[in-house]
Amino acid sequence: GDSVTQMEGPVTLSEEAFLTINCTYTATGYPSLFWYVQYPGEGLQLLLKATKADDKGSNKGFEATYRKETTSFHLEKGSVQVSDSAVYFCALGTGGFKTIFGAGTRLFVKA
């Protein structure tokens, strides 16, 4: 069945370091791909999305490219800030109103 696998955390970085969080997926058809972010004590919120192969989603300095050939949607940011500390979820939309979430990756950014 459809599934999402993302790298285990926690990931600990110093401020201004480069961030990569890996995400791969298994799906039939042509899913949409998403990254959601959850700050402490809050619900998940959409960070960025891509709806077809080779699309790049971007927001708040974060980017991810929909790679069909490698079934991947890795999240990257060139220079992280303390305020980026959160849990990041990769997800895919399968159609039929269902969203499949990865397990989440916790990011800690140290000043």
Partner 1 sequence: DAGVIQSPRHEVTEMGQEVTLRCKPISGHNSLFWYRQTMMRGLELLIYFNNNVPIDDSGMPEDRFSAKMPNASFSTLKIQPSEPRDSAVYFCASSLKSSTGELFFGEGSRLTVL
Residues lying near partner 1 in the complex (CB under 8 A): 31-32, 34, 36, 41-46, 49, 89, 91-99, 101, 103-104
Cβ closer to partner 1: 17 or 44? 44
Contact of 87 with 6, CB cutoff 8 Å: no
Contact of 82 with 15, CB cutoff 8 Å: yes
Shortest spacing between CB 61 and partner 1, in angstroms: 20
Shortest spacing between CB 28 and partner 1, in angstroms: 14
Cβ closer to partner 1: 35 or 109? 35
The residue type at 73: F
Q: Six-digit token pair at 28?
A: 């039939």
Contact of 92 with 110, CB cutoff 8 Å: no
Cβ closer to partner 1: 46 or 53? 46
Question: DSSP state, 95?
Answer: S
Shortest spacing between CB 29 and partner 1, in angstroms: 11
Cβ closer to partner 1: 5 or 17? 5
Shortest spacing between CB 33 and partner 1, in angstroms: 8
Closest CA to 49 of 27, 25, 66, 24: 66
